Amino acid sequence: MDDAKGLALAIEEAKIGYQEGGVPIGAALIAADGRVLGRGHNMRVQNGNPILHGETSCLQNAGRLPSSAYQGSTMYTTLSPCDMCTGACLLYGVARVVVGENKTFLGGEAYLKQRGVEVVVLDSAECKDLMDKFIAEKPEIWNEDIGVEERVYSKEKH
């Protein structure tokens, strides 16, 4: 699957999350052979679950898989992955992480690269616009989502 199509699946998920009143971050996990293993979106608000970010929701929806399923896989995510989601990608051996945008928030991209994961940032205006709209509407939920009291773009240096 090419990166535009993979990101489009993640964006669909982000829009579903936004329509549900949640944080509009979506993800899709694609196997090396192009099969969709899972899709998901941030469900913290909807389910009252602090660990259901876009990527972890996607992994949960993929279900229990053998470790071989993750070999050569790509995690498409609309926003740079936080420390928890970075760790989940590393734990399961995801080979590539394709990020819609990292201007709103810069997560563990440097650590992913350091650990041998290919990271591609697409600078999607659609992803950025969706986050900007959500943050303007619900800044307190965004701050809660990233664990701060005021807006932060990154705790990491390139």
Provide DSSP, 37-54: EEEEE--HHHHT-TT--H
End-to-end CA distance of the chain: 28
Catalytic residues: 55
Convert 80-97 to b/e letters by CB count within 10 Å (16 or more is b).
Answer: bbbebbbbbbbebebebb
Strands 26-30 and 36-41: antiparallel
